[in-house]
Structure 1
Amino acid sequence: MIDRNFNLLAEIDDYESLQFTRRFYRAGEFEMHISLHKQGVDQLHKENIIVIDNKMHKAGIIQSRNIGQNDQGIEVLVIKGPTLGGILDRRVTVTDNFDRVRGPAETVMKHYVNNHLINSVNTQRRVPFMSNAPDLGRGKVTPWQTRFEPLNMVVQEIAKWCDIGWQVRLDYSAKKWVFDVLPGRNLTASQNTLPPVIFSRDFDNIMSQSFTDSDQQFKNVGYAGGQGEYEDRLIQMVGGGTGADRRETFLDCSSAENAAELVDLGNQKLSLLKSIVSYDGQIINTGSFIYEVDWDLGDIVTMQSKSWGVTLDSRITEAKEIYEPESKIEISLGEEVPTITQIVRQLTTEVKRSD
C-alpha cells in the first residue's frame, strides 16, 4: 500500500478476503475484508492506494471504510473503492461551448483526460500526479463532442463505440498515474496468428457458466433529431431494418451543428441500444491457459458450450480476481447487462447533452 506520493505505507497479505475486478471499458473496483487488529490495518485510510502483487496496472483508491463484527465476533474492517481509473469520476467536461474533436479513439480519449485532469485551463482542476501515455493513434477514428458530462462516462462511451479499452496504471519511476488505452488481442479459434484460447467444459477449464442473449433494449433504426423546433427541426435517419425486424426509436441529438455531425451522433447513440450477448464463467486453473500470459482482460477469445449449442467469439470485458483460501478468477465476455442505476445515469447524461 502506498500514498499519492508513492511512499510505501505497509505490506499486507494476511487478509480474510480480497476481490479485485478489472474492466475493459470502465474503471473496476475492489473490496477487502481484514481483521481490525492485524498489522498494517492502521494505514488503510481513504485516498491511500492498494497495489496487488506490486503490479502497476492493479491498484485501487480506498474510498470507503466500514468496521463491524463477523459471525465469530471478530472486529473486521471492510475497505472498498475503484481502480485508479475511478479518478475520472471526479471531473465533468467543463467547457463554454461543446468540446468537439475528431481522431482515433486513443487521441480523442486522451484529449479529454488532458483537458480535464492534466492540463485544465482552471489550474485548480489539475491533478499533478496524472499523465497521459504517448499517443500512438490507436483505435477507430471517430468524432466526439461533450459539455458538462461526467468524464468517466465520456471515456466509457468512446471506448465502447470504438471497442477499445483503457486503464490508469502506476509509473513508479516518474511517480505518476498514467492513462492509456488497451487494444486487446484476437485469440479466437478462427484466427491462426496467435495461439487460440478456448474456454469450454470439454476442456475442463471453465465452470459455473451463464449465457444471456437479449433484445429487450435493441433498436436498429434511429431518427436523430438535431437543431430546430417542430417542423423546422432537422431529422436524419441512422441504422437500418425492414418489416417486423425493424425496431425504431427517436434520438435527441440537438447538440449537433450540422447534418453530418447529426448522423455521427445518431449512430453513437443508437449503438448503445444493441442486443445484449454476454457469457460469464469461473475459470478453472488447469495450466492450459495462464491468466495474464496466454490471455488477459480485453482479449477476444472463444467460449463454447456444446450442450447449450453456443459458441461465442467475444472480448473479455471483465476479470474478477478473488483472493481467499481458494483463489479463483471469474470472467465476463460480451455486452454488460445494464443495471437500473446505469440506465438512469445514461438517461441523465442524454438530457445534459441535449440541453
Structure 2
Amino acid sequence: MKSSVRILDTAFNLHGEIDDYESLQMIRRYYRPGEFEMHIAIGKQSVDQLQKERVIIVNNQPHKSGIIMHSEINQDDKGGEILTVRGPTLGGVFDRRITVTDNYDRIKGSAETVMKYYVNNHIVNGIYPERRIPFFAIAADQGRGKQTPWQTRFEPLNEVVQGIAEWCDIGWLVKCDINLKKWVFDVLIGRDLTVDQHILPPVIFSHEYDNIQSQQFVDSDLQFKNVGYAGGKGEDANRLIQVVGSGSGLNRREVFLDCSSAESVTELTDMGNQHLSGFKQIRTYDGKILSTGSFVYERDWDLGDVITQRNQKWGLTMNSRITEVKEIYEPASSLEISLGNEIPTITKFVKQLQSNVKRR
C-alpha cells in the first residue's frame, strides 16, 4: 500500500500532497542520516512542487522527513517523462557545517550531552549568526548513553555526530515537528528484543517463522585491527606514543593512529581507543522482511532495536542491532533491514587509512 507524501517549505507552508507516485524508497539509519528517492510521472498533481530545499514527510510521520537536494527528468523511448527527486533525511544538513573553532573544542559527558553540545554550537546557537539555522531545535538533554570524551576542530559536523554515535552505540534523528515549526534533533535508544532477555516479547527473524524472505551474512576481518599505536604531540623520536588494544602472535593486528591533538596521556588513550574502533570486525546479517503479521514494524520492532536473527541451515544465530530499515513503496511494498556493523565503502576505508598516516 502506498503512503502519502506531504510537501513543505522551510517555513512549514504546505505545498501539496502526493500519493500516486510510481515508486518511493525511504531509508532510515541509526548512526547516520538516511535517504529517500521518489519517481513520479510529469503532469501529476503537485509534481511541480517537488523543488530543491523543499521538505517531504512520509505518512505524516515527523521522523520520516527528508530534504530534496536533487531532481532530474528522464524521458523513455515512448515519450513518457518521469521526475526523480532524492535527498537525505533532515539530519543530512549536518554536512553543511564543519566544527569551526579556534582551538580544539573538548567536552566530556554522556553521548547525548556530547552530541547535542556540538549540534548546538554549530547549528542552533553558534557564535556566528550566519551559521545558525533558525528553525532548528534540540530536544531536552536527558544524559543518555555512555560517558565519553570528545574533541573536534574543523571536521564535518555529520562525521563528528556519526563518530560519537558509533563509538557510544547510540542512535539519533531529526524530526520535522509541524506543531512547533521546528526541525528537532534528538537521540534514539533502541530496545533489547532478543531471546536472551525476559522483559519484552522477543523478536526473531527466521525462515522457520516465515517472516524473512532472503538473508545475507558477512563476517569479515579484512580491515580489522586490534592494537593501535596512538601518536600524540611531538615530532620523530620525541613524539608521545601510547599503545591501545590487545593481541598477540598471529592474532595481533597493528595500526598507527594519528592523535596529534591529544594533550595528555589520558586523552591520547581515549582518542586512540576511539580511532581503533573504526577498524573493528565486520559482522552483518541483512534480510528482506515479510509482512506475515508475526511481528509488526514500528510496533513490535523498529530501527535501533536489538533482535535475534536465525538461520538453522547455516547454523547461525545472531543478536544484533537494526541499524538500517529500507521502506519500499511500490506496487509490491516491502521492508529490508540491516543488522550489525556497516560494511565500509572503499572511499571511507581509504580516507580512514589516510587519516592515520599524518605526521608519522
TM-score, with normalisation over the residues of structure 2?
0.96
Contact kept in structure 1, 2:256 and 2:356, CA below 8 Å: no
Structure 2 equivalent of residue 112 of structure 1: 118
Alignment pair present for 1:164 and 2:170: yes
Output the CA distance in 2 between the equivalents of 1:283 and 1:141.
35
Output the CA distance in 1 between the equivalents of 2:89 and 2:355.
23
Output the CA distance in 1 between the equivalents of 2:357 and 2:42.
45
Q: List per-residue Cα deviations over 1:295-345 (Å, max 9, x = no partner).
A: 000000001001111111000000000000000000000001011222244
Q: Using a 3 Å threshold, how does the CA distance of structure 1 residues 88 and 346 change in structure 2: closer, same or farther?
A: farther
Partner AA of 2:179 in structure 1: S
Contact kept in structure 2, 1:166 and 1:182, CA below 8 Å: yes
Contact kept in structure 2, 1:149 and 1:349, CA below 8 Å: no
Segment of structure 1 superposing worse, 65-74 or 284-293: 65-74
Partner AA of 1:74 in structure 2: G
Partner AA of 2:276 in structure 1: L
Partner AA of 2:319 in structure 1: D
Output the CA distance in 1 between the equivalents of 2:317 and 2:289.
17
Q: Using a 3 Å threshold, how does the CA distance of structure 1 residues 120 and 351 change in structure 2: closer, same or farther?
A: farther
Structure 1 equivalent of residue 4 of structure 2: none
Output the CA distance in 2 between the equivalents of 1:48 and 1:282.
31
Q: List per-residue Cα deviations over 1:87-106 (Å, max 9, x = no partner).
A: 11110000000000000000
Q: List per-residue Cα deviations over 1:187-214 (Å, max 9, x = no partner).
A: 0011001000000011100012110000
2:304 pairs, out of 273, 284, 298, with 298
Structure 1 equivalent of residue 3 of structure 2: none
2:260 pairs, out of 242, 245, 254, with 254
CA RMSD across the alignment: 1.4
Output the CA distance in 2 between the equivalents of 1:162 and 1:315.
13
Q: Using a 3 Å threshold, how does the CA distance of structure 1 residues 147 and 124 change in structure 2: closer, same or farther?
A: same
How many percent of aligned residue pairs carry the same amino acid? 64
Structure 1 equivalent of residue 339 of structure 2: 333
Q: List per-residue Cα deviations over 1:47-86 (Å, max 9, x = no partner).
A: 0011000001000000000001235431000001000010
**Residue 19 of structure 2 aligns to a residue in which SS?**
coil
2:72 pairs, out of 57, 66, 77, with 66
1:226 pairs, out of 224, 228, 232, with 232
Q: CA deviation at 1:17?
A: 0.5
Output the CA distance in 2 between the equivalents of 1:267 and 1:135.
26
Structure 2 equivalent of residue 101 of structure 1: 107
Contact kept in structure 2, 1:171 and 1:178, CA below 8 Å: yes
Contact kept in structure 1, 2:203 and 2:301, CA below 8 Å: yes
Q: CA deviation at 1:346?
A: 3.9
Unaligned runs of 5+ residues in structure 1 are none
Contact kept in structure 1, 2:257 and 2:356, CA below 8 Å: no
Q: List per-residue Cα deviations over 1:3-59 (Å, max 9, x = no partner).
A: 111111101000000000000000000000000110000100000011000001000
**Residue 320 of structure 1 aligns to a residue in which SS?**
strand
Partner AA of 2:278 in structure 1: L
Output the CA distance in 1 between the equivalents of 2:27 and 2:145.
24
Structure 2 equivalent of residue 92 of structure 1: 98
Q: Using a 3 Å threshold, how does the CA distance of structure 1 residues 330 and 104 change in structure 2: closer, same or farther?
A: same
**Residue 337 of structure 1 aligns to a residue in which SS?**
coil
Q: CA deviation at 1:229?
A: 1.0
Output the CA distance in 1 between the equivalents of 2:258 and 2:19.
51
Q: How many residues of Structure 1 are paired with residues of Structure 2 in the alignment?
A: 354
Contact kept in structure 2, 1:206 and 1:284, CA below 8 Å: yes
Unaligned runs of 5+ residues in structure 2 are 1-6
Structure 2 equivalent of residue 192 of structure 1: 198
Structure 2 equivalent of residue 177 of structure 1: 183
Structure 2 equivalent of residue 204 of structure 1: 210
Contact kept in structure 1, 2:258 and 2:355, CA below 8 Å: no
Q: CA deviation at 1:246?
A: 1.0
Output the CA distance in 1 between the equivalents of 2:65 and 2:80.
27
Structure 1 equivalent of residue 274 of structure 2: 268
